[in-house]
Amino acid sequence: MAAIRLTSKRQATFPRALCEEMRLKPGDRLALDARVVDGERVWVLRPDRQEEPSWFGCLERYARGKSHDMESIRKSIAEARKRGDL
């Protein structure tokens, strides 16, 4: 179990693995929901992404680690045409 410690300014640092799993970036907002689980009050943290469309970021895993300059994009399109994907 991971733990989070608060500073004197009530700030917290989240473990890297948690941030990666939740796809959190600096400046992201978290929504807090109080719930009762097995008779105990707990808090649920979730990313607050209300203003983003539901499909926003769904292709991020395919783009990660790839170049996005125009030459690379044109090359990728040409390769897809050769394979018959387009």
Q: What is the pLDDT of residues 14-70, one digit of tens each?
A: 999 989 999 898 889 999 999 999 999 999 999 887 666 677 778 888 888 888 899
Nearest-angstrom CA–CA distance, 43 and 38: 13
Q: What is the pLDDT of residue 37?
A: 94
What is the helix (H) or strand (E) element at residue 40, kind and residue range? strand 40-47
Nearest-angstrom CA–CA distance, 57 and 59: 5
Is the per-residue pLDDT at 83 higher than 80? yes
Q: Is 79 helix (H, G, I), strand (E, B) or coil?
A: helix
Its pTM stands at: 0.48
Q: What is the pLDDT of residue 51?
A: 65
**12-51 CATH:** 2.10.260
